[in-house]
Amino acid sequence: MGNSINDRTFDAIVIGSGISGSWAAKEFCERGLKTLLLERGKDVKHIKDYPTANKLPYEFEYRGNIPLQVRKENPVVTKCYAYSEATDHFFVKDNEHPYVQEKPFDWIRGYQVGGKSLLWARQTQRWSQFDFEGPARDGFAVDWPIRYKDIKPWYTKVEKFSGIAGDKDGIDVLPDGDFLPAFPLNAVEKYFKESIAKSYKDRYVISGRCAHITDPQPTHTEQGRAKCQHRTLCERGCPLGSYFSSNASTIPWAVKTGNLTLRPESVVHSVMYDENKGKATGVRVIDAATKDSIEFYAPVIFVNAAAFNTNLILLNSTSNRFPNGLGNDNGLLGKYVAFHIYRGSISGEFEGLKDLTVEGRRPTSGYIPRFRNVRKQETDFLRGYAAGFGAARHNEHNTEGFGLTLKQNMLNPKLGPWKVHSHMMGETIPKESNYVALDTKKDEWGIPLIKISVDYDYNDEKMIQDYFEQMGEMFNKAGFINVKTRDSQQAPGLDIHEMGGVRMGRDPKTSLLNKWNQLHSCKNVFVTDGACMTSTSTQNPSLTYMAFAARAANFAVNELKKGNL
Ligand SMILES: Cc1cc2nc3c(=O)[nH]c(=O)nc-3n(C[C@H](O)[C@H](O)[C@H](O)COP(=O)(O)OP(=O)(O)OC[C@H]3O[C@@H](n4cnc5c(N)ncnc54)[C@H](O)[C@@H]3O)c2cc1C
Ligand code: SF4
């Protein structure tokens, strides 16, 4: 890349190469825009940069475990279930990128080309009309400026390209998508599904919809992606490209158009605003290695640095016109942050179907769509929760004895009982008191640290209790025994679904973005990652970010062509 202003001028700039940013970049490149994709982390090339993908357990120094010293130095990231010796290189270490916890918040990050798309659990569900209507119905947070019908065609577009496995379940609270064949439920999961169907009119157990290719279509083959082999080593990077990641799918696709310039190790400092033009002109970047400051220019800028970092970049983008951050006329930038509650889980055992077991692996499990307060307020807490559900049967090894006896015992394991498990995925209410802001301390690139002040409230505690009661009842009705509930008491954040701070809305007085994800007061800057979310509902959010990114990018291209940006 040269040094003249021409070399640093593009048709569009996208900040962040993760799930949402790579979708925006792909759409721009396909529509003919010369696009700069800025990424603060190192490059990760599909297949070549998956160093642990094919390693066997004994090839890891610690057999995949995390040494005590690493845990001590990184108390937050080492809590993440997907963090291990095999995935360490894709996670941000606490001690390398500090942040300020005004209240405890476990912030899980992936700074590299592809962002967290390499690490995610790939669960993908559409929102329904009830989810978009939620805030208007109960009056908490502001009304969404769109409804399901506005986003529906974009869900279809991203599902077809990404490859989503799922059944057409015909449930109005969780609309069907354009699916590849689902991963089947096992015998006890099917039994639970039938038991729930007998006992409840509005509760369902379905196969967890997930971004895995189970029957490659021509569009997937063209991307160089193949059928999932059920290895379930996904978080190491999948050499087959069978699950959706930016690295396997959207980025190489954008590269093929000849319109993409990908610039890793480029830490975005701020978005630049020109008062005379009344719009943003470009982006200021600090080179991660040299610490040089460089400016890039474009008429359209998408901020997709993942929810909190997007807030950080906008808060740090100050000018005479916007002294408190870009687009922040109402002082609400950084506020009304929300997340998902993953604290509650429940387990049990099943004594039936003893002649059956499970074989092989499956990169998803069962899913129970939300059933509380969906159509109307019916409990003494607001909103609701979805739940994961899984059943499994494992070999139990007898470790008694010594020498030959121990060997014989170990070589002849007995099949244990069926174990069943569920975890909640609850919606929290966005509140002004849950916020992120700039701290006075700066990082090594001269950018203020982010300060996070987010907590649970009374509504959340009631919801957790309701999950225990309802799921406990459902387990009891199915005849599960030894049922135990567990509140992990974990701090917010480990759900890795933080959202809000730059929310969409109808009114510029109470929101930052309009229905096209444009800043109300700076129309050529768009936000389509989790920061844009007005409310969280209970679905895993990334599919919705992808759909927003594709929709807004195509709108931006049309507006650009009309001369409106
Ligand atoms: C273990 C795990 C499991 C998950 N499971 C699921 C799941 O099942 N379903 C689901 O929907 N979601 C899941 N998620 C969440 C999902 O990964 C995120 O919702 C998704 O990646 C968000 O996309 P994004 O584009 O906003 O951010 P990311 O994918 O994180 O990408 C943001 C990118 O921006 C870059 N960046 C940040 N700051 C700057 C800057 N200043 N300058 C330049 N670049 C910058 C980052 O380095 C990163 O590459 C999971 C996440 C993890 C870690
Ligand atoms: S389970 Fe599928 S997507 Fe995951 S690593 Fe294996 S082949 Fe790849």
Cα–Cα distance measured from residue 225 to residue 549, given in angstroms and rounded to the nearest whole number: 22
Burial group, residue 384, by CB count within 10 angstroms (0-12, 13-18, 19+):
buried
Report the separation in Å between the CA atom of 233 and the middle of ligand 2, taken as the mean of its atom positions.
Answer: 6
Q: Whose CA is nearest to atom 2 of ligand 2?
A: 228
pLDDT of the residue at 493 = 97
Quick one: which atom of ligand 1 is closest to the CA of 80?
Answer: 1
Whether 216 lines ligand 2, by a CB cut-off of 6 Å, is: no
Whether 212 lines ligand 2, by a CB cut-off of 6 Å, is: yes
Say yes or no to pLDDT of 3 above 80: no
Report the separation in Å between the CA atom of 417 and the middle of ligand 1, taken as the mean of its atom positions.
Answer: 37
Whether 162 lines ligand 1, by a CB cut-off of 6 Å, is: no
Whether 565 lines ligand 1, by a CB cut-off of 6 Å, is: no
Choose among 518, 532, 529, 527: nearest CA to 565. Answer: 518
Quick one: which atom of ligand 1 is closest to the CA of 530?
Answer: 26
Quick one: which atom of ligand 1 is closest to the CA of 309?
Answer: 38
Whether 550 lines ligand 1, by a CB cut-off of 6 Å, is: no
Q: Which of 120, 210, 243, when mutated, tests ligand 2's pocket best, judged by the most ligand atoms within 8 Å of its CB?
A: 243
Report the separation in Å between the CA atom of 399 and the middle of ligand 1, taken as the mean of its atom positions.
Answer: 42
> What are the tens digits of pLDDT across the range 517-565?
999 999 999 999 999 999 999 999 999 999 999 999 999 999 999 999 9
Confidence bin at 269 (pLDDT 50/70/90): very high
Quick one: which atom of ligand 2 is closest to the CA of 122?
Answer: 3
Q: Whose CA is nearest to atom 46 of ligand 1?
A: 111
Cα–Cα distance measured from residue 549 to residue 540, given in angstroms and rounded to the nearest whole number: 16
pLDDT of the residue at 231 = 86
Report the separation in Å between the CA atom of 232 and the middle of ligand 2, taken as the mean of its atom positions.
Answer: 5
Report the separation in Å between the CA atom of 368 and the middle of ligand 2, taken as the mean of its atom positions.
Answer: 23
Cα–Cα distance measured from residue 289 to residue 90, given in angstroms and rounded to the nearest whole number: 18
Whether 280 lines ligand 1, by a CB cut-off of 6 Å, is: no
Percent of the chain surpassing pLDDT 90: 94
Report the separation in Å between the CA atom of 341 and the middle of ligand 2, taken as the mean of its atom positions.
Answer: 27
> What are the tens digits of pLDDT across the range 385-403?
999 999 999 888 888 889 9
> What are the tens digits of pLDDT across the range 452-488?
999 999 999 999 999 999 999 999 999 999 999 999 9
Report the separation in Å between the CA atom of 276 and the middle of ligand 1, taken as the mean of its atom positions.
Answer: 35
Can you read off the two tokens belonging to residue 395? 């070999």
Cα–Cα distance measured from residue 388 to residue 398, given in angstroms and rounded to the nearest whole number: 31
Confidence bin at 4 (pLDDT 50/70/90): confident
Report the separation in Å between the CA atom of 113 and the middle of ligand 2, taken as the mean of its atom positions.
Answer: 20
pLDDT of the residue at 213 = 98
Work out the mean pLDDT of the chain and round it to a whole number: 96
Quick one: which atom of ligand 1 is closest to the CA of 19?
Answer: 25
DSSP-derived pairing of the beta strands 12-15 and 300-303 = parallel
pLDDT of the residue at 172 = 95
Report the separation in Å between the CA atom of 525 and the middle of ligand 1, taken as the mean of its atom positions.
Answer: 20
Whether 263 lines ligand 2, by a CB cut-off of 6 Å, is: no
Report the separation in Å between the CA atom of 408 and the middle of ligand 2, taken as the mean of its atom positions.
Answer: 34
Residue 243 DSSP one-character state: B
Residue with tokens 């950018």: 447
How many CB atoms neighbour CB 488 within 10 A?
A: 12
> What are the tens digits of pLDDT across the range 407-462?
998 888 899 999 999 999 999 999 999 999 999 999 999 999 999 999 999 999 99
Cα–Cα distance measured from residue 541 to residue 377, given in angstroms and rounded to the nearest whole number: 23
Cα–Cα distance measured from residue 167 to residue 384, given in angstroms and rounded to the nearest whole number: 23
Q: Which of 238, 245, 249, when mutated, tests ligand 2's pocket best, judged by the most ligand atoms within 8 Å of its CB?
A: 238
Report the separation in Å between the CA atom of 66 and the middle of ligand 1, taken as the mean of its atom positions.
Answer: 23
Say yes or no to pLDDT of 1 above 70: no
Can you read off the two tokens belonging to residue 318? 């100050």
> Helix, strand, or coil here: 366?
strand
What length is written for the chain? 565
Helix axes 187-199, 458-477, angle to 10 degrees: 100
pLDDT of the residue at 6 = 83
Confidence bin at 2 (pLDDT 50/70/90): low
Percent of the chain surpassing pLDDT 70: 100
Find the mean pLDDT for residues 335-362.
96
Whether 82 lines ligand 1, by a CB cut-off of 6 Å, is: yes
How many CB atoms neighbour CB 399 within 10 A?
A: 8
Q: Whose CA is nearest to atom 27 of ligand 1?
A: 306
Report the separation in Å between the CA atom of 19 and the middle of ligand 1, taken as the mean of its atom positions.
Answer: 6
Q: Which of 55, 240, 362, when mutated, tests ligand 2's pocket best, judged by the most ligand atoms within 8 Å of its CB?
A: 240
Cα torsion at 91, 223, 525, 314 (round to 10°)?
A: 0
How are the residues of the chain apportioned to helix, strand and coil, as percentages rounded to the nearest 5? 25, 25, 50
Find the mean pLDDT for residues 130-153.
94
pLDDT of the residue at 10 = 98
pLDDT of the residue at 424 = 98
> Which ligand ends up closest to the CA of 269?
1
